[in-house]
C-alpha cells in the first residue's frame, strides 16, 4: 500500500505492506538511522519515536497505522546538526556512554518534558521505565533530564500531520480504515478473516518471533471514536475498548473507583507500550499472562460485543474460553468493558509477581476485592492470572470467606485453601505458596490495619 505521513514536519509518501514496522520504514526507506533497534519487541526503547506527540516504540507500530499521522524522530530535534538543549544536557551530564540507547532516551525525555516541563525524579523514572541502558546506571540520564528542565527547556507542539490518504496497491484491499463502528462491523461481516488491530503491541512481536507473514487482512481500530471514552453511566463505569493503558492509568475516575485497575494499567510495560496497548486488545488477545483479565474478573466486569446483528454483554467469567480463545465471534467487535460501581467500603488489592519489578510478564497476578459489613466479609472476589491457560476466580475460597468474621484462624484457613486451588504447571510450589501468602496479606489488612 502507498500512504503518506509526516516525519519531523515533512510529508513523506512510502510504499510497503501494512504490517511493515515503522522502524524499518524510518531506517531503511527514509535513511533516518538515528532510531535504533535493540530488541524488536518493544522492551528496550532504543527505537522510541513520537507518534502524534506520544512516545511509541517504532518496532511495534505497523506502517498502515501511521497514515495521516505525525512522527517525530531524533533527527528532527537537531535539524542543522546543532543540538537542542535536551541533547546538550545529555552531553553535559555524561549521560551518553555507548550512545545506542540515547536517541530513544532523548525522545522519551522529550515526550515527558512536553507534558510536564518540570518533572520530579519519580516522574522521570516512570517516563523512562521502558528505555533500557546497559552502560550507565541511569543516574546521569536523570540528571540530564532534570538539567534540561531546570534550564527551562521548551518543547514545541508536534508538527501537523498531512491529510489521510491511502492507496492499496494489492488486490482485495488488505488494510481497512473504518471511520465509524457501523463501517467496521460491515467490514467484519464481509471479511471475517480481517484482524482488528489496535495497539499492535502483541501482534508485531508475535509475528517477528514466529517469523510469520501475518494476517492477510487487517483493520485499523484507532480511528473509531465509538471505542473511546471513560464515563460513568447509571452506576456502571464504561471503558471504551480502544482506551490505552496510559489513559486508564491517568483517569481519576478509574483510580478512584477501581484502584486495582489503575495500578494494573500503570504496570503494563513502559510509557511507550502504555501509549499504544489498549484495554480491548489486552482482553481480546487473551494471553494467559495478560494483566487486565484477572482485574476485570475480580471486578465483575462485562465485555460489550457488538456485531451487525446486535449487542451482547458477556460477563468476564465467560469472556476467555481457552488459551488465547475468547467468546468473540469473527463478525463481532469488543467496543467497551463495563464495571459496576463497587459497594461502599470495598477494598481492592492488585498483586503482580515476577522476578523483576518493572515490565514483567507476570508469573502470578492476584486481584482481591472485599468489604466489611457488620463485622463480616462481604462481596469477596479473588481472581488469578498467569497460573492457568485462562484467568479465573477462586470461587471456593470466595464462598469460604463470604460472611466470615475477620480473624487469624480464617486467614490461615483461607491461605491454605488458596494454595489448594492454585494449580500452575510450573514453579508449582512457589506460586501456590506466594498465592496463599498474598491472599493472607490482603485479608490481614482487616485484622492489623497498616
Partner 1 sequence: MSEFQVVGHSVTKYDALALATGEARFTDDFPHEGFLELALLWSSHAHAEIVSLDTSEAEGVPGVVAIFSAANVPRVLYTSAGQGAPEPSPYDMVLFDTTVRHVGDRVALVAAESLAAAREAVGKIRVEWKPLPPLFDAEAARDEGAPKLHGGDHHAPLPVPYDPGHNLAASVSFDFGDREGAFDRATRVEEHEYRVQYASHCALEPHAALASFDERGRLVLVSSTQVPFHARRITARVLQIPTGMVRVIKPRIGGGFGGKQEVLIEPLVALAAWRTKRPCRLVLSREEVFVSGRTRHPVRLRLRTGADPRGNLTALDLDALMGAGAYGPHALTVLSMVGGKTLPLFNKIPAMRFQGNSVYTNLPVGGAYRGYGATQGFFALNQQIDMHAREAGEDVISWIKRQTIRAGETSPVFKALGEGKEGVDQIVRSCALEACLDRGAEAIGWKEKRGRRLCPTPDTVRGVGVAVAMQGSAIPSIDLASVSLKMNEDGSFNLLAGAADLGTGADTALGQIVAEVLTVPTEKIVVLSGDTDVTPFDVGAYASSTTYLSGKAAEKAARDVASQILAVGARMLEVPREELTLAAGRVCHAPSGRSVSLEEVACDALYARDQHQIQASASHVAPESPPPFLAQFAEVEVDRRTGHLRVIKFVSAVDCGQPIHPALAEGQVEGAALNGIGYALWEEYRFDGQGRLTNPNFWDYKIPGVRDLPEMVTILVPSSEPSGPFGAKSVSEIGINGPGPAIANAFFDATGVRLFDQPFTPEKVLRALREAGGS
Is 98 a binding residue for partner 1 by CB under 8 A? The answer is yes
Closest approach of partner 1 to the CB of residue 444, in Å: 9
Q: For 53-204, where are the E strands, in sequence order? A: 54-57, 70-72, 166-167, 175-176, 195-197
Map residues 19-38 to x or -, x wherever contact with partner 1 holds by CB under 8 A: ------------x-xxxxxx
Any contact of residue 323 with partner 1 (CB under 8 A)?
A: no
Q: Looking only at residues 107 through 126 of this chain, which bind partner 1 when binding is defined by CB under 8 A?
A: 125
Q: Is 400 one of the binding residues for partner 1 (CB under 8 A)? A: no
For the CB of residue 30, give the shortest distance to partner 1 in the complex, in Å: 13
Stated as kind and residue range, the H or E segment containing 372 is: strand 364-373
Do residues 294 and 391 lie in contact, with contact meaning Cβ atoms separated by under 8 Å?
yes
What is the DSSP secondary-structure string of 303-351? EEEEETTEEEEEEHHHHEEETTEES--TT-EEEEEEEEPPPTT-EEEEE
DSSP-assigned beta bridge partners for residue 70: 6
- Binding partner 1 (rule: CB under 8 A), the pick from 15, 182, 318, 430 is 430
Buried-state track 59-78, b at ≥16 Cβ within 10 A, e below 16? bbbbbbbbbbbbbbbbbbbe
Pick between residue 17 and residue 162 the one whose CB is nearest to partner 1.
Answer: 17
Residues 194-233 that bind partner 1 (CB under 8 A): 205, 209, 211
Count of residues in the chain: 450
CA neighbor of 249 nearest in space, from 286, 297, 292, 302? 292
Question: With CB under 8 A as the contact rule, which of the stretches 4-12, 179-187, 406-414, 440-448 interacts with partner 1?
Answer: 440-448
91 counts as binding partner 1 under rule CB under 8 A: yes
Q: Which of 12, 19, 50, 128 forms a contact with partner 1 (CB under 8 A)?
A: 128
Interaction pattern, residues 243-282, with partner 1; x per rule: CB under 8 A: ---------------------------x------------
Q: Is 87 in the site for partner 1 (CB under 8 A)?
A: yes
Residue 447 lies near partner 1 (rule: CB under 8 A): no
Torsion, CA 202, CA 204, CA 208, CA 211, rounded to 10: 100
Instruction: Using the rule CB under 8 A, give the single segment among 177-185, 218-226, 349-357, 406-414 that binds partner 1.
Output: 349-357
Is residue 181 a contact residue for partner 1 (CB under 8 A)? no
Of the candidates 139, 141, 217, the one whose C-alpha atom is nearest the C-alpha of residue 184 is 217
| Given 52, 53, 85, 88, the residue binding partner 1 (CB under 8 A) | 88
CB of 92 to partner 1, least distance (A): 8
Q: Is residue 44 a contact point for partner 1 (CB under 8 A)? A: yes
Q: By CB under 8 A, which span of 167-175, 385-393, 416-424, 435-443 interacts with partner 1?
A: 435-443
Q: Which is nearer to partner 1, 256 or 356 (CB)?
A: 356
DSSP single-letter state for residue 179: S
- 139 scored as a contact of partner 1 (CB under 8 A): yes
425 binds partner 1 (CB under 8 A): no
Question: C-alpha dihedral over 261, 106, 44, 12, to 10 degrees?
Answer: 100
Chain-centre distance for alpha carbon 314: 22
Number of residues that bind partner 1 (CB under 8 A): 72
List binders of partner 1 among 360-379 (CB under 8 A).
Answer: 360-361
Q: Which is nearer to partner 1, 379 or 389 (CB)?
A: 389
Among 7, 22, 384, 438, binds partner 1 (CB under 8 A): 438
Query: Which of 9, 115, 123, 138: binder of partner 1 (CB under 8 A)?
Result: 138
- When asked if residue 73 is in the footprint of partner 1 (CB under 8 A), the reply is yes
Contacts of 89 (CB under 8 A, 6+ apart): 95, 144, 145, 147, 148, 151, 153
Q: Closer to partner 1 at the Cβ: 106 or 149? A: 106
Q: Residue 138 has which C-alpha cell? A: 541511569
Q: Which is nearer to partner 1, 44 or 219 (CB)?
A: 44
In terms of C-beta distances under 8 Å and separation of at least 24 residues, what long-range contacts does 33-37 make, across chains too?
34/73, 34/74, 34/75, 34/103, 35/73, 35/74, 35/103, 35/104, 36/100, 36/101, 36/103, 36/104
Instruction: State the Cα–Cα distance between residues 193 and 173, nearest whole angstrom.
Output: 12
Amino acid at each position: 500500500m502507498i500512504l503518506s505521513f509526516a516525519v519531523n514536519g515533512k510529508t513523506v509518501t512510502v510504499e510497503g505492506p501494512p504490517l511493515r514496522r515503522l522502524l524499518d520504514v524510518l531506517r531503511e526507506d527514509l535513511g533516518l538511522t538515528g532510531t535504533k533497534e535493540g530488541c524488536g519487541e518493544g522492551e528496550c526503547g532504543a527505537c522510541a519515536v513520537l507518534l502524534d506527540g506520544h512516545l511509541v516504540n517504532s518496532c511495534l507500530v505497523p506502517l498502515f497505522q501511521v497514515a495521516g499521522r505525525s512522527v517525530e524522530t531524533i533527527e528532527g530535534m537537531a535539524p542543522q546538526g546543532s543540538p537542542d538543549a535536551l541533547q546538550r544536557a545529555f552531553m553535559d551530564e555524561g549521560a551518553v556512554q555507548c550512545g545506542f540507547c540515547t536517541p530513544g532516551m532523548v525522545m522519551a525525555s522529550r515526550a515527558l518534558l512536553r507534558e510536564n516541563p518540570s518533572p520530579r525524579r519519580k516522574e522521570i523514572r516512570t517516563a523512562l521505565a521502558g528505555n533500557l541502558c546497559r552502560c550507565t546506571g541511569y543516574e546521569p540520564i536523570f540528571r540530564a533530564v532534570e538539567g534540561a528542565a531546570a534550564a527551562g527547556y521548551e518543547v514545541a507542539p508536534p508538527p501537523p500531520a498531512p491529510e489521510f490518504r491511502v492507496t492499496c496497491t494489492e488486490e482485495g484491499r488488505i488494510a481497512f480504515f473504518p471511520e465509524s463502528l457501523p463501517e467496521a462491523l460491515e467490514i467484519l461481516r464481509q471479511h471475517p478473516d480481517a484482524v482488528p488491530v489496535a495497539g499492535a503491541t502483541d501482534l508485531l512481536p508475535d509475528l517477528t518471533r514466529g517469523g510469520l507473514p501475518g494476517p492477510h487482512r487487517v483493520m485499523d481500530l484507532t480511528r473509531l471514536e465509538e471505542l473511546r471514552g471513560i464515563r460513568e453511566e447509571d452506576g456502571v463505569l464504561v471503558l471504551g475498548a480502544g482506551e490505552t493503558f496510559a489513559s486508564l492509568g491517568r483517569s481519576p475516575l478509574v483510580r478512584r473507583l477501581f484502584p486495582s485497575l489503575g495500578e494494573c494499567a500503570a504496570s503494563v510495560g513502559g510509557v511507550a507500550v502504555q501509549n499504544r496497548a489498549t484495554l480491548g486488545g489486552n482482553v481480546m488477545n487473551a494471553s494467559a499472562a495478560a494483566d487486565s483479565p484477572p482485574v476485570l474478573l475480580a471486578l465483575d466486569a462485562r465485555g460489550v460485543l457488538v456485531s451487525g446483528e446486535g449487542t451482547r454483554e458477556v460477563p468476564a467469567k465467560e469472556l476467555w474460553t481457552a488459551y488465547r480463545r475468547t467468546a468473540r465471534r469473527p463478525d463481532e467487535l469488543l467496543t467497551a468493558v463495563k464495571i459496576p460501581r463497587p459497594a461502599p467500603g470495598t477494598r481492592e488489592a492488585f498483586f503482580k509477581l515476577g522476578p523483576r519489578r518493572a515490565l514483567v510478564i507476570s508469573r502470578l497476578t492476584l486481584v482481591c476485592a472485599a468489604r466489611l459489613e457488620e463485622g463480616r466479609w462481604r462481596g469477596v472476589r479473588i481472581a488469578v492470572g498467569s497460573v492457568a491457560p485462562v484467568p479465573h476466580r477462586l470461587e471456593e475460597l470466595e464462598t469460604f470467606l463470604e460472611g466470615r468474621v475477620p480473624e487469624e484462624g480464617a486467614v490461615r484457613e483461607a491461605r491454605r485453601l488458596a494454595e489448594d486451588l492454585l494449580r500452575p504447571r510450573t514453579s508449582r510450589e512457589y506460586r501456590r505458596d506466594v498465592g496463599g501468602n498474598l491472599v493472607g496479606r490482603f485479608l490481614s489488612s482487616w485484622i492489623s490495619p497498616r
